A and B are shown apart, each in its own frame.
Chain A
Amino acid sequence: MQDLHFETIYEKFRKPIFRLCRGYVNDDDLAKDLVQETFIAVFQQLPKFRQEASVGTWVYRIASNICLKQINLEKRMPKSEIPVSLKDNDTLHEKIENEKMTDFLYQCISELPETERIIISMELENVKQAEIAEILGISAGNVRIKIHRIKEKLTEKFRHYGNRI
């Protein structure tokens, strides 16, 4: 039996949903607004939730729809500069400070096409691929292929990023 208390849902999903929104818009304040909008919708829709899907799938569906709805956000979205001025160190992982690495990952994700941003965010939150397929309304096979391609793209960008510093 799933725990359907709003408090429990908020506590469990607020951080993953923030990261999903943050990856989508690459801006802290905009992401917080989207998180707020998501949980307001969760709060309002909770009495109608019939448990046909897991509560996680349901919350992710609402959050991803709210992200996708921000159609013209792109124009307002601050595309922060990729941090390049890092000091020389012995190896790549030593060179790149954690925070900058995280910034770079979020920057890369926000530059992907909309659906890919959502897919990779959920993959990185360990959402099962079958659930991601259910949330998007596409086949699990398709999700697997897309995840593979996205990770290739990200790896390529990280390698390129490593070479630049």
Chain B
Amino acid sequence: METEYNFEEIWKQRETRLPDIETIKSKAQSFRKKQLWSSVYLTFCLLLSFGTIIWVWYSFPDLHFMTKSGMVFALSALMLYIFQNFQKIKIINKINPALNNQEYLKQLKILQQKDLYMQTKGTSIYYILLSLGMALYLYEFAERMSVFWGIFAYFITFGWILFGWFYIRPRKIRNQQEKISDVIRSLEKIENEFKD
């Protein structure tokens, strides 16, 4: 289309100072190192939590079965949290940035949907494991208390668990859902632009 304005000429007048090639290369190298280290760090945290579970189980033969189980559940919740973050980084890195725009957006959307599922289901599982862990861990100590204090300790614990389950957890899920749904909506909006 011919217009009275030479957009191409106007467009190409924009100039700026861009970083030299060595800066880009060194940033790419340090970015790669950072990615590698974050994977190493997460793997280390996962192994450490797993190692602690084994260590607790075999090193304290005198501890009550319920106490040990409680610690294992709580540590499993931590492991789940680390694992989720690890998975997310892995999926992000898997998306090839050289795909065509439509394919790339599709992949981004799939990633966001997976993230939404993981965040909402993951948060619920995380709370279940943590609550179960706390309840079991407390058993041995409550048993040594008087009936009143035993009931009181469980009352406080379950009060906290219910507060977490019915107040903190839905809020956390809602926030995550809103954030991710917002991104999905924007992706869908761009996808629709391709159809016009």
Contacts and interface: CB of A to CB of B under 8 A. Distances in A.
A24 interface: no
Contacts of A36: 19, 24, 27
A61 B99 contact: yes
Contacts of B167: none
A19 B12 contact: yes
Contacts of B108: 69
B101 interface: yes
B58 interface: no
Contacts of B102: 136-138
Given A39-B24, A61-B99, A72-B186, A126 B5 contact: no
Interface residues of B, number: 41
| Residues of A in contact with B, size category | 35 or more
A140 interface: no
Contacts, number: 129
Contact of B101 (A19, A49, A135): A135
A26 B40 CA distance: 38
Contact of A116 (B3, B14, B186, B193): B193
A55 B51 CA distance: 48
A15 B10 CA distance: 14
A35 B108 CA distance: 20
B156 interface: no
Contacts of B16: 18, 22, 28, 31-32
